Amino acid sequence: MKKAIQFGAGNIGRGFIGALLSQASYHVVFADINEEMINELNEKKSYQIHILDLEQRQETISNVSGVLSNGPDIVNEVAEADIVTTAVGPNVLKIIASTIAKGIEARREAGRGVLNIIACENMVGGSKHLEEQVYTHLSEAGKAYAEENVGFANCSVDRIVPPYQGENMLDVGVESFYEWIVEEPSLKGEVPQIPGMKLTDNLLAYVQRKLFTLNTGHAITAYLGYLAGMETIEEAINNDEIRAVVRQAMEESGDALIKKHGFDKEEHYKYIDKIEKRFKNPYIRDEVIRVGREPLRKLGPADRLVGPANMAIQYGLGHVALLKGIAAAFHYDNPQDPQSKELQEQIAQNGIEAAVSSVTGFTDGSEDHRIICEEYAKTSKA
C-alpha cells in the first residue's frame, strides 16, 4: 500500500488533506508534535469527519496512524513515503525542513525513487519556500539527488475547518466545499492519483484568486467583527455594515485579479457570492479570533490584505474597502495571540503611523498610508 506522511494532524490535516489521501487508498501517517493526538491516532486508527452544512453527513477516515514529528521514527517514515504533505502553518515549515532533509538523505542512501512534497498552507509559494528551507540542510549529494527525485509542488488549499468539539478528539467538523489545486509541472514522476486533487499549470492565478478573495474577505470579516465585539464569523457577516465593507473589499480585490489573470468577471463575481454564502454557514461555529490569528503574517506584503491592495494600486483600481480592512487589523488586540501582542506593542511604542509603514510597507506621506491611519483613528473596539 502507498504511504503518505501528513505533517500536521490539525484541522486541515485531519479534516481535508489527510482525509483525501486516505480516501485515495494511501496509508496516512500523521506527523505532529501533539503527543496526545499521535497516541490517539495509533490507538483508534480511524476518525469521523462531520460535514456541517445544509446537507449533514459523516465520513469515516481509516487506515491512519501517527508519529511524533520530533521523535526518532519520523526520518524513516519520510524515507519510505510516496508523498509528503504539510498543514502546519507557514511559520512551522522551517522547523520541519531539517527532518524532511534527513528523510531525503535516507532515501538517497537507500536508493529510493521519486517523492513529491506539497505544502498545504495559506500562502503563495508554500512548497517552494519549504524547498529552499530543506535545501539548506542537504549535503551536496543530497541536493543532487533531490533535484532529480524530489518534487516540491505549490498548491492552493480551500476548505473552512474550524476547531470541533466531538466525542472523540480525532473527529473533525468541516464545511462540504473543498478545493485543492496543485501545480502539475513541479511534480516528479508519475502524477499521484488523488480524487479531489485538481492539477493546473497556472497555479499563481488560483492561489491568488483564493488567498485574495476567500482569505481577504474572511480576515476583514474577522477584524471588523472583533472591533464590533462579535464572537463569530457568522454573526459578523450578517451585520449589514460589515457585510458591505467585506463585499466591496472582495470586489476590489476581484477587479484587480480579473485584470491580472484574465478571469471572466461574471464567473468571478459568482465565486465571490459563493464565498459570502460559505461565511454565512450557520452549521459551523468559526470564531473571529481564529480567522484573525497572527495579524502580522496576514498584514504581510504578499498576504490577503496588503497583497490585493497593492495589486489594485498597480492597475489604478479602487481599494478603499481593502484599506478599511487593513486599518481594522491594526485594532486586533488579542493578548492570547503573540503576533497581536507584538503589533499592539509596536503601536504603543512608535505610534500608528510608524506601525503602518513598518508592517504594511505603505510609506508615511502616501495617500494609502493616510487613509489607513484615518480609518484607524475613526474606529475603536466596542
Ligand X SMILES: NC(=O)C1=CN([C@@H]2O[C@H](COP(=O)(O)OP(=O)(O)OC[C@H]3O[C@@H](n4cnc5c(N)ncnc54)[C@H](O)[C@@H]3O)[C@@H](O)[C@H]2O)C=CC1
Ligand Y SMILES: O=P(O)(O)OC[C@H]1O[C@](O)(CO)[C@@H](O)[C@@H]1O
The verdict on whether residue 111 carries a ligand-binding annotation is no
Taking CA 194 as the corner, what is the angle to CA 285 and CA 75, rounded to the nearest 5 degrees? 90
| Residue 365, annotated as binding a ligand | no
Among ligand Y, ligand X, none, the one that 293 touches (CB under a kind-dependent 5 to 8 A) is ligand Y
Least distance between ligand X and beta carbon 190 (Å): 26
Q: How many CA atoms lie within 13 A of 140 on its CB side?
A: 0
Per the DSSP assignment, residues forming a β-bridge with 31 are 7, 67
Contact footprint for ligand Y (CB under 6 A):
122, 158, 160, 214-215, 218, 291, 293-294
Measured at the alpha carbon of residue 169, what is the angle toward residues 164 and 172, in degrees to the nearest 5?
40
Ligand-binding annotation for 13, yes or no, is yes
List the one residue from 19, 38, 83, 96 that touches ligand X (CB under 6 A).
96
Q: Which is nearer to ligand Y, 214 or 372 (CB)?
A: 214
CA 247 to chain centre: 21
Q: Which stretch binds ligand X (CB under 6 A): 82-90, 101-109, 244-252, 314-322?
A: 82-90
Is 6 known as a binding-site position? yes
E strand residue ranges, 155-304:
155-158, 172-174, 179-183, 197-200
- In the block, residue with C-alpha cell 471588523: 224
Stretch 109-138: interaction string toward ligand X, x if CB under 6 A: ------------xx----------------
Selected binder of ligand X within 159, 247, 319, 369 (CB under 6 A): 159
Shortest distance (Å) from residue 58 CB to ligand Y: 21
Query: Among 29-37, 134-142, 243-251, 296-304, which window interacts with ligand X (CB under 6 A)?
Result: 29-37
Residue with Cβ nearer ligand Y (87 or 323): 87
Q: State which H helix or E strand residue 342 sits in.
A: helix 338-350
**Looking at the DSSP assignment, which residues form a beta bridge with residue 158?**
179
Residue owning grid cell 524532511: 100
Tell me: is residue 51 an annotated ligand-binding position: no
Integer Cα distance of 370 and 191 in angstroms:
49
Q: Which does 217 bind (CB under 5 to 8 A by kind): ligand X, ligand Y, none?
A: none
In order of 113, 242, 284, 333, 342, the CA distances from 336 in angstroms are: 44, 24, 23, 9, 11
Burial environment of residue 321 by CB neighbours within 10 A (0 to 12, 13 to 18, 19 or more):
buried
Q: Which amino acid is at 61?
A: I
Indicate the residue among 74 and 329 with the shorter CB distance to ligand Y: 329
Q: Which one of the spans 26-34, 58-66, 101-109, 258-266 is the region binding ligand X (CB under 6 A)? A: 26-34
Bridge partners, 323 (sequence order) = none
CB 164 → ligand X: shortest distance, Å? 10
- Could you list the residues that contact ligand X (CB under 6 A)? 7-13, 31-34, 69, 87-90, 92, 95-96, 121-122, 157, 159-161
Sequence ranges of the binding site for NAD(+): 4-15
Sequence ranges of the binding site: 4-15
